[in-house]
Amino acid sequence: MRLRHPGGDLVHLGYCTNVHPAEDLDGILAQLDTYALPVRARLAEPVLGIGLWLAHQVAAALAGDAGLTRRLRAELGARGLEVVTLNGFPYGGFHRPVVKHAVYRPDWTSPDRRRYTAHLARVLAGLLPDDVTEGSVSTLPFGWAADWSPHHTDRAREQIRLLGDELGAIRGRTGRTVRVAFEPEPGCLVETSTDAVRHLTGLDPRHFGLCLDVCHLAVAFETPAEALDRLARADIPVVKAQISCALHAEDPTDPATRAALTAFDEPRFLHQTRAAPPTAGTDHAPPAPPTAGADGPPPAPATAGTDDLPQALTGPTALDPTRPWRTHFHIPLHTDPAPPLASTRPVLRAALAALLRADTPVTRHLETETYTWSVLPRPPSDSTGLADGIAAELAWTRNELLALGLTAPAPAPAHPSAPHRSVR
């Protein structure tokens, strides 16, 4: 959906389709019929934005066949859907029974990661609406940090340099800019905004920037305004933001809290967990930002953490239970987990306010990204329940944006829409 910022910019809001498993074109279209169309109807939006996830096989097929890309664009238009951003983090197999660390492979040392991202950029340039000239692709932040060396960084930077050449060629050929956004994530080489400054400074902002996932920001116990200030001082653009909440445990010494956390231990996804640093707040609201010096805010707080939730709870790597914990488990935006757990929704509200400040938006691409519906302790029972949940998240986000002063603009350009008819 589209909203108008008080400064005049058009802001795009959609939901990320990595919540759905299909990895072939017919399956993707079928799941859009099952979920995206009911979501659009529930929201009464003439056009619904989606952050499309395309696994590497279908991305390669689309990039190599302009006719197939045109077909996808027509199919989206026929459904009243539009795409300005793609999620290029998972390479494939994102809904296998066990994903865990596999989601970080191939990393940016591999030509396969560059080729996949270039394919996505080429496809997105062909999918953008007629009145939109800039798209975004989010990707992993170089790779998993364990065993990463300066040699890995050199290899990754070479792949990124080659991608920059390809992105420039796409812009020259199509007149459309596609920027790739590295997404800081717990456990990766780039985990915090301080890491982003260290590793992303100097990349061409015409082609590269950052994807701010608010769940990840919260897990790192970062303050949104401070993190955005740090990025701005380093001239790192926030190309895209993923609207998401993490799981917050205020008192991990409490047996009821620990029992509740175990319900979120599941085998598919990695749930990195961090204990609050001494300077962090004592609840799930963002801590008060420290006073900035002449050179800007101090580094992001250092946090103790584990790769997964079970390691935080027991064993030699168990975290200090006297400090609050946050876990990388994307929690539905509009509702809280059962007490005594909480979500980091206060951090999300602070992030939205900082991203959409009164003068000009920091980013124009917003995407809800709760991909964990199927592994919640109480997941939706059927497709209707999942569509209801996605719609409720988008409605909550839309209301938050309207409260910040954004407004519904004039309708988007007409699509060959309702009643829906598949284009073959």
Helix ranges (H only) for 208-364 are 214-219, 224-233, 255-262, 309-313, 345-355
Q: At what angle do helices 193-200 and 224-233 cross, to 10 degrees?
A: 10
CA angle 184, 185, 187 (to 5 degrees): 125
d(CA 134, CA 111): 25
At 287 the pLDDT is 52
Contacts of residue 245, Cβ cutoff 8 Å, sequence gap at least 6: 214, 215, 218, 330, 331, 332, 333, 343, 344, 345, 347, 348
pLDDT at 416: 41
pTM of the entire predicted model: 0.93
User: Do residues 368 and 334 lie in contact, with contact meaning Cβ atoms separated by under 8 Å?
Assistant: no
- CA–CA gap between residue 300 and residue 10 (Å, rounded): 31
Nearest to 43 by CA among 14, 12, 85: 14
Pairing of strands 304-306, 273-275: antiparallel
Beta bridge partners of 296: 293
pLDDT for position 357? 86
Strand (E) or helix (H) holding 167: helix 150-174
> H-type helices in 96-149, by residue range?
111-127
- Give the integer Cα–Cα distance in Å for 380 and 367: 21
Nearest to 167 by CA among 132, 136, 139, 198: 136
Mean pLDDT per block of 10 residues along the chain (424 residues) reads 96 98 98 98 98 98 98 98 98 98 98 98 98 98 97 98 98 98 98 98 97 98 97 98 98 98 98 89 50 60 90 96 98 97 98 93 98 98 98 98 91 47 42
Instruction: Tally the C-alpha atoms within 13 A of residue 378's C-alpha that lie toward its C-beta.
Output: 8
Q: In what order do the strands lie in the sheet with 342-343?
A: 304-306, 273-275, 325-331, 245-249, 342-343
